[in-house]
Amino acid sequence: MPIDILDRSIQKIAVIGSGQIGPDIALHFSKVFAPHGVPIVVVDISDDALAAGRAKLDKKVDRGIESGAFKPDAGVAMKSNVTFTSDYDQVRGSDLVVEAATEDRALKGRIFSQISGLVDEGAILASNSSHLEPEAIFESISNRSRAMVVHYFFPAERNPVVEVVPGADTDPAIGRAVSDFYEAIGKVPITVGSRYGYAIDPIFEGLFLAAALLAEEGAGTTREIDAVACEALDYTVGPFTAMNLTGGNPITNVGLDNYTTKIHSWFRSPQSLKDAVAAGSKWDTPKRGEKVEVDEAKRVAITEALRGAYFGICGEIVDSGISNVADLDMAVELALDMFAPFRLMNQIGVGEALRLVSSYAAKNAGFPIPECIRTQANRELPFTIPTVIRRDEGDVAVLTIRRPKALNALNNEAFSQIEAHIRTVDTDPKILGTVITGFGVKAFVSGADVNFLAKIDSSEMGEATSWGSNQSLLVVENSKKPVVCVMNGLAFGGGNELAMACDARIARAGQKVFVGQPEPNLGIIPGAGGTQRLPRWIGMEAAARILRTGRPISSAEALTLGLISEEVTGTNRELVDRGIAIVQNAANGEAPLKGIERGPIQVPEALDDVPLGHLSTAVDAILCRALLEGCRMPLDDGLKFEAKMFGAVCGTKDFRIGVTNFVKNGPRSKAEFTNS
């Protein structure tokens, strides 16, 4: 499958720079493009850097083969697909060039002046700068409409986040297309306004500054501060350890001093960092697995200071307009592997967050109190953090479920946001209908968030939980305007139930594992309409087999059964375009959508036996009741009956066994059901 950026198919990619990050960028590209025969070229003027880059890439691929992440043949292909060379002429013919050289404005400018003469006018020119504005990097080239920053994070082949930073002269359509391209190759892009440092590095480096200042003030040792930071902000590793791992002292030293004038005066390189850079030394940090004991008063003081700094830095970025709450929350959690800032503020209370920021600002000259936090605290409301993003494509609203860390699993917030968007679309005279899709290439929706199941403590609570989920999906099903589900990846459990509440479904072609209702593996039954809608879409026999065994089907089988109306080959962009066309044709009366049967359907007296294996016969008996008795009713009554049966299953021993096993051991572990 070719992958395009707007008006051209990517046939060749060049990476300039074989230093710390260039080989990792090339590795990710080769993983994606080697199967399509798209060569990757890494160019550097240093033979030593090229040799080290080749060795680094090969070593990482070999580790992947050993761990089973790559099949041996695929690993060999990935390595042979990348050429390391000092010959800049090898860049010719590239459709995408990513520069990953040293963070030096003059050097980057010279590179792009040379590169722009080697590729045609349609090639995309991107700089993996960590700080420099695109206007500064590309000032010497003539065609800046196709030039921008694409900022990767350590390690580039595995860290999903990429900041896409268009410049003042970047064609907005190309900026959006580059973001779509990175989503298509498995990254999580966020578009950020042009400002020195962009959105994420001021957080990473600003928290390091806050930690360094605490150490200089004697609030704690670097080891103690690292340990407390992991608790206070849910860091995987603390700020000093992170600086050691990334080799970030020199670039952070420069970045912090530039932030002083580029952002605000609190930012500056602390003396301890200047000394570390001059000496080439690392920070004293806890060893892996080491537990550092910290006095309680000291722990509280460090926690409050770090959280105050964290919230203030993130709030200022939102105030600046270069990013937003939804993008920043998602990107910080994924890129920096720490607690999402606005979700943490909501958890502790926005009023408390404002107190912490205000306290930090009072002790640190030049540190601003963000208006977005002050306003939200005055309203006494939590931040709204969108996980379902609406973007209007002409006269069609496109809703994208974006929870990449959870493979777009539905939680209560996502259900509520989908419902709210559909209600808004229904009253918007400019909009003909809705497309619902998922972010990324792996999953439309991987299911419902299982953690809520562990909180169900009675049949009554189970029934209420099921009926609550159904309320949101009934809003989708009863929309006055066409709703088409674009299934960009697998749809399990609640994901398939959401899809079935739509008027029509299309899917990415060739998905071997596509749709499944795995609830029996958890000791439950579907609780958001699965037992009632699936038989109405594909017939009782096929539906019962899928529901009772929990085994998934392919997209080809889904097409044969009639669950989807077509398979579409292409990227998410192409799938969404097809979904938009279906909505428009339906709304205009050119190709009306049939919709689901709302009345009772014909069902047998009993269901044939199916091989249940390790699954609970007690749960299966309740599932069969939901299917047979519910489908003899009109759909609305059947949904209420399903909720009643969901409550009944929550009263079984096997429900508790299944959910506990899932939470403790994960989805691949088989629960030891007692059939009771």
Pair 474, 514 in one domain: yes
Catalytic residue positions, numbered: 497, 519
Residue 349's domain is classified under what CATH number? Answer: 1.10.1040.50
Does residue 207 contact residue 309 with C-beta atoms inside 8 Å? yes
- The partner residues of 98 in beta bridges, in order of sequence, read 15, 126
- The partner residues of 42 in beta bridges, in order of sequence, read 15, 84
State phi, psi for 391 to the nearest 5 degrees.
-140, 125
**Nearest-CA neighbor of 336 among 439, 216, 206?**
206
Query: Which domain, by its residues, includes 409?
Result: 388-665
Pair 364, 428 in one domain: no
Q: Residue type at 500?
A: M
Token pair 């809608």 in the structure block, residue: 533
Residue 1: its pLDDT value, please?
55
State phi, psi for 651 to the nearest 5 degrees.
-95, 0
Residue 279 lies in a domain: yes
Residue 571 lies in a domain: yes
**Nearest-CA neighbor of 480 among 529, 433, 416, 417?**
433
Residue 401 lies in a domain: yes
In angstroms, the Cα distances linking 183 to 42, 124, 464 are: 22, 16, 37
Pair 566, 639 in one domain: yes
Residue 666: its pLDDT value, please?
85
Pair 181, 222 in one domain: no
Residue 186's domain is classified under what CATH number? Answer: 3.40.50.720
Q: Is the pTM of this model over 0.85?
A: yes
CA distance 204 to 332: 9
**β-pairing verdict for 8-9 and 4-5:** antiparallel
Residue 29: its pLDDT value, please?
98
Pair 187, 212 in one domain: no
Residues, the chain, total?
Answer: 676
Residue 670 lies in a domain: no
Cβ neighbourhood burial of 381 (10 Å; 0-12, 13-18, 19+): exposed
Contact partners, residue 626, CB within 8 Å, separation at least 6: 525, 531, 532, 641, 642, 645, 646
- What is the number of other CB atoms lying within 10 angstroms of the CB of residue 557? 17
Which stretch of DSSP H or E encloses residue 674? Answer: none
Q: Residue type at 512?
A: K
Pair 404, 319 in one domain: no
Pair 182, 255 in one domain: no
Pair 350, 443 in one domain: no
How many structural domains comprise the chain?
A: 3
Residue 252 lies in a domain: yes
In 544-654, DSSP assigns E strands to 566-568
Residue 468's domain is classified under what CATH number? Answer: 3.90.226.10
**β-pairing verdict for 82-85 and 96-99:** unpaired
- What is the number of other CB atoms lying within 10 angstroms of the CB of residue 511? 21
- The partner residues of 148 in beta bridges, in order of sequence, read 126, 166
Residue 288: its pLDDT value, please?
86
Mean pLDDT per 10-residue run, the chain (676 residues)?
79 96 98 96 97 98 96 96 97 97 95 95 95 96 95 96 98 95 96 98 97 97 96 94 92 96 97 96 92 94 98 98 98 96 98 98 98 97 96 97 95 94 97 98 91 85 91 95 98 97 97 96 95 97 96 97 96 94 96 93 92 94 97 97 96 93 87 94
Pair 292, 172 in one domain: no
Pair 489, 630 in one domain: yes
